[in-house]
């Protein structure tokens, strides 16, 4: 195999990663409504701006790597027309594609029959391995409130829309978050399997330093799928080590 360089990371093409002005983002958003690209005049008409202004914004988007230019033969004689095409991925399409991929992989690993305790533990171990691959190994928190804050930030960034529904209490060390959205819930498809939920549980356990298989760690973390009204629940309790240190 030729040791050729890999393509650039797709994350570099997401609009949030690009240094764009408000107006450039508006132009980019409208251009995304043209699946096959658009001429500057077509875009200017839809935006309600002068064609030269639209062309200036398009040139800036090209220079920032958000848009590419292709040519198409114009009708009759004359120079070929320039077609501006978006390079930025469609976030919804990306999510749906990779959710489908995860579903296929999950079926291959766990099958379609009822999941056993052994299968669920395999899923949790996959989640722990995933966290280590992402360099998310947990560090012992300074206090119980810190662990909820750590979880809140991580779950928010992963797209779970968390809220702290029970703050950590110094007397019993119990805390709870509700997750109001899930990247693996897609419209018109069945809810994620328990295997996927167990993977996320293992990921969060590794992130917080929870080691349930060794009955140790600063906290004990449990993910309860669909335990709240339209939400999943993450429950955090003091671990044996945390209790002994107080």
Considering the entire predicted model, what is its pTM? 0.74
Segment (H or E) for 195: helix 194-208
The per-residue pLDDT for 79 is 76
**What domains appear along the chain, each with residue ranges and CATH number?**
10-89 (1.10.10.10), 114-245 (3.30.1380)
What are the CA-CA distances from residue 42 to residues 31, 86, 142, 214, 245 (Å)?
10, 14, 58, 63, 68
| CA triple 97-103-108, angle to 5 deg | 130
What residues of the chain score a pLDDT lower than 70? 1-2, 74-78, 112-114, 136-145, 168-173, 211-218, 239-246
Burial of 31 (0-12, 13-18, 19+ CB in 10 A): buried
| CB neighbour list of residue 168: distance below 8 Å, 6 or more residues apart | 143, 144, 145, 147, 148, 174, 175, 236
Using CA atoms, how far apart are residues 69 and 48, in angstroms rounded to an integer?
22
Please, are residues 67 and 84 in contact by the beta-carbon 8 Å criterion?
Answer: yes
Using CA atoms, how far apart are residues 65 and 70, in angstroms rounded to an integer?
14
Tens of pLDDT, residue by residue over 81-136, are 899 999 988 888 888 888 888 888 888 887 755 688 889 999 999 999 999 998 75
The per-residue pLDDT for 243 is 39
The per-residue pLDDT for 146 is 79
The per-residue pLDDT for 225 is 93
């Amino acid at each position: 195999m030729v040791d050729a360089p890999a393509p650039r990371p797709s994350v570099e093409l997401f609009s949030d990663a690009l240094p764009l002005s408000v107006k450039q983002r508006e132009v980019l958003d409208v251009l995304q409504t043209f699946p096959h690209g658009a001429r500057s005049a077509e875009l200017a008409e839809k935006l309600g701006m002068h064609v030269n202004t639209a062309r200036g914004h398009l040139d800036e988007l090209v220079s920032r790597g958000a848009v590419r230019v292709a040519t198409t033969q114009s009708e009759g004689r004359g120079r070929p027309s320039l077609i501006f095409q978006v390079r930025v991925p469609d976030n919804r399409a990306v999510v749906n594609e990779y959710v489908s991929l995860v579903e296929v992989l999950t079926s291959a690993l766990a099958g379609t029959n009822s999941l056993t305790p052994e299968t669920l533990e395999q899923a949790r171990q996959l989640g722990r391995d995933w966290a280590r691959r992402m360099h998310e190994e947990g560090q012992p928190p300074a206090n119980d409130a810190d662990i909820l804050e750590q979880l809140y930030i991580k779950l928010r960034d992963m797209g779970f829309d968390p809220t702290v529904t029970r703050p950590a209490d110094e007397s019993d060390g119990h805390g709870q978050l509700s997750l109001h959205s899930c990247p693996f819930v897609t419209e018109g498809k069945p809810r994620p399997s328990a295997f996927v939920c167990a993977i996320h549980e293992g990921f969060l356990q590794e992130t917080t330093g929870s080691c349930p298989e060794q009955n140790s760690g600063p906290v004990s973390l449990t993910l309860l799928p669909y335990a709240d009204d339209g939400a999943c629940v993450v429950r955090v309790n003091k671990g044996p080590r945390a209790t002994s240190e107080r």
